[in-house]
Chains A and B, each alone.
Chain A
Amino acid sequence: MEELSRIQKGTWGVLLLLALIAPFLVNFDLYLIHVGIVITFNVMLATSLWLIWSLGLVSFAHAGFMGVGAYASALLLHWFGLPMWYGLWIGALLSGLLAMLISIPLMRTKAVYFFMASWAVGEVIKRVFAYFKGTFGGWDGIFDIKPPVLDVGFLQIDFTNRVAYYYLALLFGVLTVWIIHRMNSSRTGMVYWSIQQNELLAQHIGINVFRQKVICFTISCIMAGTTGALYAHYQTYISPHSFDIWTSEFALVHVIVGGLTTVGGPVAGAISLTIIDEALRATGYFRTMFFGFVLIASVLLLPGGLETIPRRLRELFNRSTGK
């Protein structure tokens, strides 16, 4: 419905190309490739969180659902010896199933009440992992979650290789962004945004608002679950701490700094803030403080987020050429 302009298409193309050749650009530096993988995870989390935002809702349960995917996949490996190829899908589906069930009461709340209820959901999920020590390993978490090996006869790829894992994560990252973009630029997006704009009117012209909210939340949490499974097998270690409120909050910050109106916003936010965060690692304790400064500065100096930069540049250009 809303076609991308040529410039937008070009920007996405360049971004994808850069992502594809990134390992070569950094000369296979393992640390930088690690940053690349973290970026992909953050992009997946931020964009899927943004999908819920298109309904006008801010969910703080996102990290919890990421955890469901991660734990499911890790436990499938430990209990049944099933590699990530199974855990990825089963974890994502379990996360979606749980999201669907929970969203039935959750979607009866609105605005700040939704925010608090979703926070509680995320916290409960985390505490369940911590409480049942025998099943989920308690606060100690689960160790030794092996990355998978792809074996299709003539070709064998071991994903303990970081470059290989980067491309695997990138594949899912691109898929996530593509799906969300497609949904958002079609009538599905129109329905979601209409609910955000005016829920009352949306109901009265025949949209089953409750159903659309449940579906949207479920799809988003399936994506979070997928991210969780990929995260677990990359880090090889997960604990409840990996999925607490901060993870949701960072995803939200990525969305806000990036911009709220197009999928490009959260992508730009996740990429730039992950890089800034890593660059600040050397500052030790001050890292969080600097991160806070960057956040406040971007909200104050760049209202609307990074996605408004092209428009601002255009306006600046027009002004300077006197048009």
Chain B
Amino acid sequence: MHELEARNLQMKFGGVTAIANLNLTVEEGEIRGLIGPNGAGKTTFFNACSGRYPITDGEILYRGEKISGLKPHEIATRGLVRTFQHVTLFRRFSVLRNVMTGNYLHSRHSYWGSLLRTRSTREAEAASERRAREILDFVGLRSIVDQEASTLAHGHQKMLGIAVALAAEPRMLLLDEPCAGMNSDESREMIGLVRRIRETGITVMLIEHDMKVVMGLCDRITVLNFGNEVADGTPEQVRANPEVREAYLGSQTYAA
């Protein structure tokens, strides 16, 4: 059983084919990179996996179970959680509250509990807050738990986005350009964080444009171009693949 599997996946928006016919598998415990030129269909693939947009054809399986056709919240409930390319946070919430909200699935929310503030509700709220603080420690945002999310530096906001996703306690995490817009120090921190996430047993798939990050971090890399898979393999294999060079640099016949 594969952790994540796409079979003959097709995504069309009107007349535009974003993903033509994609077959790929991700195994449990790996860090998988997803690269390709702009418009190759990388983010579209994440949107398909997370249920944000309906797929046109084919199917997506998560741990052997078909998830295409499910709603985003149903997919998150199954343990597949994603982050977004652009900073996506509860902007007016404090850092802690962002992560506590992320912990929603695991903190048994009930209306009667909210109204009557029963003992079990108070305990669940306290447990959820402890869990949120643990996650913020893990991510390295401990010192800014009380700040409002909108006031944070860009790098911290990206980190917080991952913390919110981690609070949903995923078994697999889809990271859409975690290092986008980061300076090299922040990137290094992010790389360390992704490694630590994998060590906790979470499978990671990430989209990234920074080749240094991708080559250094990923166990395997899948290359997309025009909605098709061009290559799949270890960083060395992908680097040596002529088709990948072509996708990024243009065809040699024309270039020469």
Interface residues of A (CB under 8 A from B): 1, 179, 182-183, 186-191, 193-194, 197-198, 200-209, 215
- Contact yes or no, A205 B125, CB < 8 A: no
- Contact yes or no, A205 B114, CB < 8 A: no
Nearest residue (CB) in A for B76 is: A206
- Contact yes or no, B115 A204, CB < 8 A: no
Q: Which residue in A179, A191, A198 is a CB contact (below 8 Å) of B109?
A: A191
Q: Can you give 22 contacting A-B residue pairs, CB < 8 Å?
A: A182-B116, A182-B117, A183-B115, A187-B104, A187-B114, A187-B121, A188-B111, A193-B93, A197-B90, A198-B90, A198-B91, A200-B52, A200-B88, A202-B101, A204-B82, A205-B102, A205-B104, A206-B76, A207-B73, A207-B104, A208-B73, A215-B111
Contact A194:B93 (CB < 8 A) given known A200-B88, A207-B73: yes
User: B107 interface residue, CB < 8 Å from A?
Assistant: yes
> Which residues of chain B are within 8 angstroms of A204 by Cβ–Cβ distance?
50, 52, 72-73, 76, 81-82
Q: Which residue in B97, B117, B121 is a CB contact (below 8 Å) of A190?
A: B97
Which of B26-34, B56-64, B162-170, B207-215 makes up part of the contact surface? Answer: B162-170
Count of A-B contacts with CB under 8 A?
A: 92
- Contact yes or no, B92 A206, CB < 8 A: no
User: B71 interface residue, CB < 8 Å from A?
Assistant: yes
> Which residues of chain A are within 8 angstroms of B109 by Cβ–Cβ distance?
187-188, 191
- Contact yes or no, B105 A190, CB < 8 A: no
Contact A201:B88 (CB < 8 A) given known A206-B77, A206-B105: yes
> Which residues of chain B are within 8 angstroms of A183 by Cβ–Cβ distance?
111, 114-115
Cα distance A1–B129 when bound, in Å?
A: 10
User: B181 interface residue, CB < 8 Å from A?
Assistant: no
User: B100 interface residue, CB < 8 Å from A?
Assistant: yes
Nearest residue (CB) in B for A182 is: B115
Cα distance A200–B52 when bound, in Å?
A: 9
User: B113 interface residue, CB < 8 Å from A?
Assistant: yes
Cα distance A7–B102 when bound, in Å?
A: 31
- Contact yes or no, B88 A205, CB < 8 A: no
> Which residues of chain B are within 8 angstroms of A188 by Cβ–Cβ distance?
109, 111, 114
> Which residues of chain A are within 8 angstroms of B72 by Cβ–Cβ distance?
203-204
- Contact yes or no, A198 B88, CB < 8 A: yes
Cα distance A295–B256 when bound, in Å?
A: 71
B118-152 CB mask vs A (1 if < 8 Å, else 0) is 00010001001000000000000000000000000
Nearest residue (CB) in A for B82 is: A204
- Contact yes or no, A197 B164, CB < 8 A: no
Cα distance A187–B129 when bound, in Å?
A: 11
User: B89 interface residue, CB < 8 Å from A?
Assistant: yes
Cα distance A205–B71 when bound, in Å?
A: 11
> Which residues of chain A are within 8 angstroms of B52 by Cβ–Cβ distance?
200, 204
Nearest residue (CB) in B for A208 is: B73
